[in-house]
């Protein structure tokens, strides 16, 4: 019945900065943009980014008050965690460091996997995980 993650929504106050980070640092590609003209907070701008068959939907309310009033979990900035699988943890961390991104913690290496965490420009956690598969 359930097949895959269709998309992940990221609500940000600074969409250009978020898109630049996810495309320029993490290698997502921009798929499309659209605007929903009427919502409770004014227009909603959407940027769809793709990586490995998963879509990240970068959302912003350019005319909303700052900060966006919190009426429900859907109106808070950010998410709990996004996890990206990497081929080589040490190489991934070296490439990120060259782009000015330091790990928030890690890498932690276990027999089955390695984990580390970075933060996007809004402070949202992004786990990096390398699986050691036989």
- DSSP letters, the chain, are ------EEEEE-S-HHHHHHIIIIIT--EEEEEEEE---BTB-EEEEEEEETTEEEEEEE-TTS-SSPP-SSGGGSSS-S-EEEE-S-HHHHHHHHHHTT---SEEEEE-SSEEEEEEE-TT--EEEEEEE---
Res 76: pLDDT: 59
pLDDT of residue 38 exceeding 90, the answer is no
The answer to whether the 1-79 and 80-134 domains have the same CATH topology is yes
Predicted structure pTM score: 0.80
Going by pLDDT thresholds of 50, 70 and 90, the confidence category of residue 21 is: very high
Going by pLDDT thresholds of 50, 70 and 90, the confidence category of residue 39 is: confident
For 80-134, the fitting CATH number among 3.10.180.10, 2.20.25.90, 3.40.50.720, 3.30.70.20 is 3.10.180.10
Going by pLDDT thresholds of 50, 70 and 90, the confidence category of residue 13 is: confident
Class of domain 1-79: alpha beta
**What average pLDDT score do residues 32-60 get?**
92
**What average pLDDT score do residues 74-101 get?**
84
**What average pLDDT score do residues 30-35 get?**
96
Res 78: pLDDT: 63
Domain ranges, ordered by start, for the chain: 1-79, 80-134
- Cβ count near 130 (within 10 Å): 20
């Amino acid at each position: 019945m359930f097949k895959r993650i269709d998309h992940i929504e990221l609500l940000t106050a600074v969409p250009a900065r978020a898109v630049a980070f996810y495309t320029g640092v993490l290698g997502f590609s921009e798929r499309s943009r659209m605007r929903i003209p009427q919502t409770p907070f004014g227009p909603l701008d959407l940027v769809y980014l793709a990586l490995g068959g998963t879509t990240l939907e970068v959302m912003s309310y350019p005319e909303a008050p700052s900060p966006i009033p919190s009426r429900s979990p859907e109106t808070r900035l950010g998410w709990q965690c996004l996890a990206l699988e990497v081929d080589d943890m040490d190489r991934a961390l070296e490439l990120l460091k060259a782009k000015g991104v330091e790990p928030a913690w890690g890498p932690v290496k276990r027999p089955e996997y390695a984990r580390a965490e970075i933060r996007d420009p809004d402070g949202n956690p992004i786990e990096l995980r390398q699986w050691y598969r036989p």
